[in-house]
Structure 1
Amino acid sequence: MRAFIDELRRRNVLKVGIAYLVAAWLVLQLADVVFPAMRLPGWSTSLVLGILIVGFPLALVLSWVFDVTPRGIKRTPGDPAAEVPAGENAGTIAKIPSVAVLPFVDMSPDHDSEYFADGLTEELLGVLSRAGGMRVASRTSSFAFKGKNADIEEVSAKLNVAHIVEGSVRKSGNLLRITGQLIEAATDSHLWSSTYDRELDDIFAIQDEIATQIASALQVQLAPRQLERPLTEDVRAYDFCLRGNSYLRNLGMKNTGRAIEMYEKATQIDPAYGRAWAGIAIANATLALLFMVDGEDRTAAIEAAHQAAKKASELDPECAITHLANGMTLNADGRPDEAEIEFAMAIEYDPQMHEAHYQYARAAYMQGRMKKAAALFEKAIEADPADYGSSLLLSSVYRSLGQSDKQEETIRRGVALVEKHLEKHPNDARALALGAAAVQIAGNSEKAELWAERAIAIDPDNESTLYNIACTYSLAGKLDRAMDLIERCIHSTSWIKRDSDLDPLRELPRFKAFMKSLE
């Protein structure tokens, strides 16, 4: 029953029903006053009442099927959190081609084009993952092998794929050399390989050619729609957008600010570049959600996100990233019901978009809809099994639901992923801070405090880092230390009021006074 009510809520049926009843009451009041003055027959009011009664279920049905969006009336997307029956995909995965696209290596003379090589890799991942009849390893899973000399057999086994794409990029001025090859892991044989010596302006054509050749070798047909990306025709704008993506991925307030600068430069060069506008919206929403206090700065960031998201919607209304930008902006603005519609539409356009599942799950969590959040975090993990963040946040959700077995399982999985990540990125403050709380729950207080203090030393002013460490100390029973950090980094109750990591603090007079100050 709760699931049905959640679905009514997601589709705005309850809102429409209430609004209809209020409007109907006003119409009847108006008719009761106006009709006698107009000397209309006595049955006129009864007729209006009958029409309103007939219209009520019709309005509910229409609100179930359709949504009114900034781009007009759209069919409501299905619920991506709906459970897939066990074993449904078991046979399918074995029968369809599977591939991982490893990060292309930057072979430029100055080794200053890593962001460009990563961008090319991500474009190929995006095109191939949208193709039907092909399973593509997630970005996080593939990028875990970046900079490593793992052999093809090892990559194939760890990512559970039969084919590997690898390549390199050499960028020098306006000249570009890209090599790529598709390898069948079982036989270590090349199914396709090619080298492209072109000018930088040809990058978009090269990307399409590589994707088409890979799909052809795997006997998968790419529809023209899958190759139509909302890209600029100006390579300089594209280059700045890739730089923005690189900064945004590294998170942190400074990096997010730098990402906005890069995206804005891209839009200055090409004002019709929808993806860059979406980047501005996502980055500003990220600032508002994670790093900013309630006040003028946060209000300005949300307003900037709204303006950029609106522009992106005008330019690329059927792009998954556009809907992600709209969803994150609405969520930052305290409108999670509307945000959910946008996240669901992003997933409809790109079912493998991990970030859309992840942000959708966060929106459900912030509303206290823990079962929904759990299902969506599971979907996020399914889209990107190497993402430690989703597993660690999911463990908190399961704790709130009282499902200790699942909590322990997700903590083990999350901590293992964090440790693997830290082998390659030992100074990643976010991984250390998120992992510390999980390690504390697992019972290793010494290691948890070591990770927590390392995270603070690396990034002492990052409010997201401070919050996660506060959770660690709360779980460890070091309540004064936890409160010191909470008071430094928390400026709203949207997340803190439901985070079970902070339960040990809730009866403290200091915590209660702090919560009251936020109201």
Structure 2
Amino acid sequence: MNISNFIEELKRRNVFKVAVAYAIAGWLIIQIVTVIEAPLNIPDWFDTVVIVLVGIGFPLTLIFAWAFELTPEGIKKSKEVEITESVTDRTGKKLNGVIISVLSIALFFVIVERIFFAKASILEDAGAIAKIETASIAVLPFVNMSSDTENEYFSDGLSEELLNALAKVEDMQVAGRTSSFKFKGQNENLTEIGSELGVANILEGSVRKSGNRLRITAQLIRVSDGFHIWSETYDREFTVDNIFDIQEEISLHVMEELKVRLLPEEEAQLANRPTMDIEAYNAFLEATQREITYQPEDLEYAIQKYKEAIRLDPSFAEAYARLALAYNNLHQNGNISADETKVLMRENAEMAISLDKDLGKAHQALADYYGFEFQFEKREETLKKAVELAPNDASIRMDYRSALGRNNKVQESRAQLFKAYELDPLSPDISNSYARHLADVENRYYEAMDIIDRNIKRTPDYNGSYYSKAWLLRDVPYGELDNAFTFAYEGHLQNPDDMDFMWMVSDIARDLNMLNMAEYFGKKISKTYPENHAGPRNLLRTSQTRRDFETTKRIVDELSETYGERTVEFFVIDLLAYHYERGEFLEGIDLLKRRFPDFLDEPGKEITNDDHRTAAIFHLTLADKAGKTEEVEMIADRICEYKDKRLAEMEESGHIEIYNELDVKLWCQIATEQYDEAVAAMEKFYFELNSKANYPLIITSEIPFFRIKESQNFEEFEKKIYADLGMMRKNVVQFLKEKDEWEEEWEEEGN
């Protein structure tokens, strides 16, 4: 066959045009399938099948174009059509139109895909993109090369101040102090350290202080390949000016190498000298390294050192700020009165701000004071300012998270927790809070337990992890109250004066209906820490479980005298049973309105979150007893509407968990007097889902549950619960007797 004649025949039969049209159309189909696969949740294999089919179709289409011709009478074999009768010219012109049309569609698709789908992809992956584009670094503790080991605080403090300087730069992501210092004295691979901290670069070095000479070596290392990007040795006289000069030079070199552009105000911050007194700075650094344990004796020592720094330099703003925060921590963990704490916090925080209005720690300290005074909006506003001034300070973000949560800004609060965890993932306190959020809010129990176990392994002397493990073991999905108790009690034996362990032992004893033991440890907390509110709060919970609501009221009144009248707002739910039992239903409603003023300012408002639902069901219970029938029906409708909304959201997300489903249905059942169904749901919670924490407390003191006692099945349900608690209680008593820890006064009548 003559090749040129064959090619001419291919052209005449429009095979080339068909090939071009098919290729463009096939490419367009593949592109469309690739783009829509993820948004429409199409299985991964689908685009592969489409590509294979398009590929198989190409040669078949060419064969078809050669063998057949489209005529006015329909499709005929090409050999049956005389050349004089052929309409391939007209078909060719139509194919030209098809090719132009398909090309136009393809061009339009490319434009749309690049502008809209690419933008959506960027938005969906904004966190990952931001992480890549942000210069990230961890400052490892500089090694103390001095002959005097007591200079350790100086090298650690210098490292922390370098970290703090870099953390003030908005375009830097700086791993938190706790996470970075986890690797102190360890010879771990830098790549592994970088991976664990989520950073691309590491700054490390050494400090040698001898007489009046100071030698500091610093080196910046890229995590991916261990390449030393920059290094420098500074050998200077030991003066405060030289210390800050070195810190500034190191910071500027780091940012220059990481291509970070400084804003003018950030340059000014780096050049700032917090003090010009070397002894004041020494005392300050020593205080910062002692207070990190949160142990009362270390906090008291740090307070004395901060005071010393202020005495040596009365213009030392950060010393005032850290002193204010130390007083708050001592009140939370030790034994300093609320009145004294408030005065000391305010005067030191305000002094810090007057000396340096751009100091994030100063605003954090003032915000803590506002929290003491129940000025929650001002607290949130002040912490927002603190975050803006110190965006990489994980502790400020944790405080901001708490403030947002208190003001019912749930998603914003969650975002701050997750950012704090990203900044300081190895902080035992932050990772502990993160784990508890996963378990309590997102029902990711096993992931939470994994984080807690890693915390215990990594930081065995951090008591909060043991507390959280016991807390998690007692409820969904474990329900092991006896094992949770033994775990908490072992911790108590190792740390007999630790407030958290005493609280947890008391809490689980209360879960097991061992109320004498619960009261014993509540009193022990009060005796050990008489100025702290933890003891009275613990005893309050025991009084509720005993249905001794007069004692509950007395404790709240005493706390209000100490902390101020607004203290009552924290105990509204606890006080409602007191008013309910006394027939003071309208007084109970008024009290509830103090806690939820914006939601309960008018009855029947739409419920938008779980806190509102809680307020609504308690309001309904009191309104029902007060004879407000129309109001009760209106509130019940809102509660059930919220149930329908939450179930629809779960269904839409494709993630319905039985716990959440039962929970939203339960409140509607109680509101609409479906008491048998409510009891069945509670039985499922307890025996199938292992939700066993707080049961005696809930059914004896939370007034909505008083309603379900009208169910004929309630008494049998209650017997089953107390029988199960009795079996676990026997295991606990046996454990305590084997440890020779059992006290006869803990014996309960009828147990």
Which residue is equivalent to 1:113? 151
Q: Does 1:196 align with 2:239?
A: no
Aligned to 1:427: 461
Partner of 1:418: 455
Query: Counterparts of 1:386 and 1:203 in 2: how far apart (Å)?
Result: 29
Residue 415 of structure 2 corresponds to residue 378 of structure 1: no
Amino acid at match of 1:207: Q
CA distance in 1: counterparts of 2:405 and 2:130, whole angstroms: 32
Which position in structure 1 is the counterpart of 2:195?
157
Is the Cα–Cα contact under 8 Å of residues 435 and 452 in structure 2 kept in the other structure? no
Deviation at 1:267, TM superposition (A): 0.3
SS of 1:318 mapped into structure 2: coil
The answer to whether 1:488 aligns with 2:488 is no
> What is the letter of the counterpart of residue 453 of structure 1?
Y
Q: 1:513 aligns with which of 544, 548, 551?
A: 551
2:375 counterpart of 1:338: no
1:173 aligns with 211
- Alignment partner, residue 215 of structure 1: 255
Say if 2:342 is the partner of 1:302. yes
Distance 1:235 1:458 in 2: 40
Asked if the contact 1:394–1:410 (Cα under 8 Å) also holds between the matched residues in 2, the reply is no
Which whole-Å CA distance do the structure 2 matches of 1:132 and 1:114 have between them? 30
Deviation for aligned residue 1:268:
0.3
Note the C-alpha offset of 1:343: 1.1
Are 1:246 and 2:283 counterparts?
A: no
Letter in 2 for 1:190: H
Distance in 2 separating the partners of 1:478 and 1:284: 35
The corresponding residue for 1:24 is none
Alignment of 1:38-77 (within 5 A): none
CA deviation map 1:321-358 (0-9, x unaligned): 11011111222343333222211110011122111121
**From 123, 126, 129, the counterpart of 2:164:** 126
Partners in 2 of 1:167 and 1:392 — Cα distance? 30
Partner in structure 2 of residue 266 of structure 1: 309
Partner of 1:37: none
Per the alignment, residue 492 of structure 2 pairs with: 456
2:182 pairs with 1:148 = no
The Cα of 1:511 is off from its aligned counterpart by 8.1
- By how many angstroms is 1:206 displaced? 1.0
Distance 1:489 1:374 in 2: 32
In structure 2, what is the Cα distance between the partners aligned to 1:447 and 1:148? 34
Kept in 1, the 8 Å contact 2:244–2:273? The answer is no
Amino acid at match of 2:174: V
Q: Percent identity?
A: 28
Equivalent residue number for residue 142 of structure 2: 104
Could you tell me how far apart the structure 1 residues matched to 2:275 and 2:432 are? 37
Q: How do residues 288-299 of structure 1 correspond to structure 2 at under 5 angstroms?
A: 288-292=331-335, 297-299=337-339
Secondary structure of the residue aligned to 2:283 is: helix
Aligned 8 A contact 1:230 1:275 in 2: no
Matched, 1:228 2:271: yes
Larger radius of gyration: 2
Name the Cα RMSD after superposition: 3.4
The within-5 A match list for 1:435-454 is 435-441=469-475, 443=478, 448-449=484-485, 451-454=487-490
Q: Could you report, residue by residue, the CA deviation over 1:404-458 in whole angstroms, capped at 9, with x for unpaired residues? A: 524x266235413422333xxx333344334432344463667644553354344
Change (3 A) 1:207 1:199: same
Whether contact under 8 Å (1:288, 1:332) holds in the other structure is no
How many residue pairs get matched? Answer: 425
**2:523/2:535 contact within 8 Å kept:** no
Q: CA offsets per residue over residues 181-226 of structure 1, 9 Å max, x none?
A: 1112333221111222222212111111111112222222344124
- TM-score (ref. length: structure 2): 0.51
Kept in 1, the 8 Å contact 2:481–2:511? The answer is no
Which residue is 1:138 aligned to?
176
CA shift in 2, pair 1:437/1:252, >3 Å: same
Q: In structure 1, what is the equivalent of residue 321 of structure 2?
A: 278
What TM-score does the superposition give when structure 1 sets the normalisation length?
Answer: 0.72
Q: CA, structure 1 residues 472+364, in 2 after alignment: closer, same or farther (shift >3 Å)?
A: farther
Partner SS state of residue 113, structure 1: helix
Distance in 2 (CA, whole Å) between partners of 1:329 and 1:393 is 22
The one-letter code of the counterpart of 1:162 is A
Higher relative contact order (CA 8 A, sep 6+): 1
Change (3 A) 1:361 1:188: closer
- Shift in Å at residue 153 of structure 1? 2.1
Q: What is the letter of the counterpart of residue 161 of structure 1?
A: V
Instruction: Determine the structure 2 residue equivalent to 1:186.
Output: 224
The one-letter code sitting in structure 2 at the alignment partner of 1:325 is A
Change (3 A) 1:410 1:253: farther
Cα distance in 2 between the residues matched to 1:103 and 1:209: 18
Give the partner amino acid of 2:150: D
SS in 1 for 2:545: coil
Preserved contact between residue 518 and residue 542 of structure 2 (Cα < 8 Å): no
Offset of 1:289 from its aligned partner?
A: 3.6
**1:303 Cα offset (Å):** 0.7
1:359 to partner: Cα distance? 1.8
- Closer, same or farther in 2 for the Cα pair 1:217/1:494, shift >3 Å? same
Q: Which aligned pairs between 1:395-410 and structure 2 lie closer than 5 A?
A: 403=441, 405-406=443-444, 408=445
Conserved 8 A contact 1:439-1:448: yes
Letter in 1 for 2:212: N
The verdict on how the C-alpha distance between 1:469 and 1:362 changes in structure 2, with shifts beyond 3 A counting, is farther
1:281-324 deviations in Å (ceiling 9; x for gaps)? 1111222344347xxx3211221111111111110111101101
SS where residue 112 of structure 1 aligns?
A: helix
The amino acid that maps onto 2:289 is S
CA positional deviation for 1:231? 0.8
Distance change in 2, residues 1:340/1:353 (3 Å): same
Q: Matched residue of 2:195: which SS? A: helix
Structure 1 partner of 2:694: none
As a proportion of its length, which structure holds more helix? Answer: 2
Distance (whole Å) between structure 2 residues aligned to residue 231 and residue 354 of structure 1: 21
Gaps of 5+ in 1: 1-83
Amino acid at match of 1:427: D
Give the 3 Å change call, closer, same or farther, for CA 133–301 of structure 1 in structure 2: closer
**Closer/same/farther in 2, CA of residues 427 and 399 from structure 1, 3 Å limit:** closer
Measure, in 2, the Cα distance between the counterparts of 1:171 and 1:447.
51
CA contact (8 A) 1:176 1:198 kept: yes
8 Å CA contact 2:522–2:536 kept in 1: the answer is no
Deviation digits for residues 30-68 of structure 1, max 9, x if unmatched? xxxxxxxxxxxxxxxxxxxxxxxxxxxxxxxxxxxxxxx
Q: Using a 3 Å threshold, how does the CA distance of structure 1 residues 221 and 369 change in structure 2: closer, same or farther?
A: closer
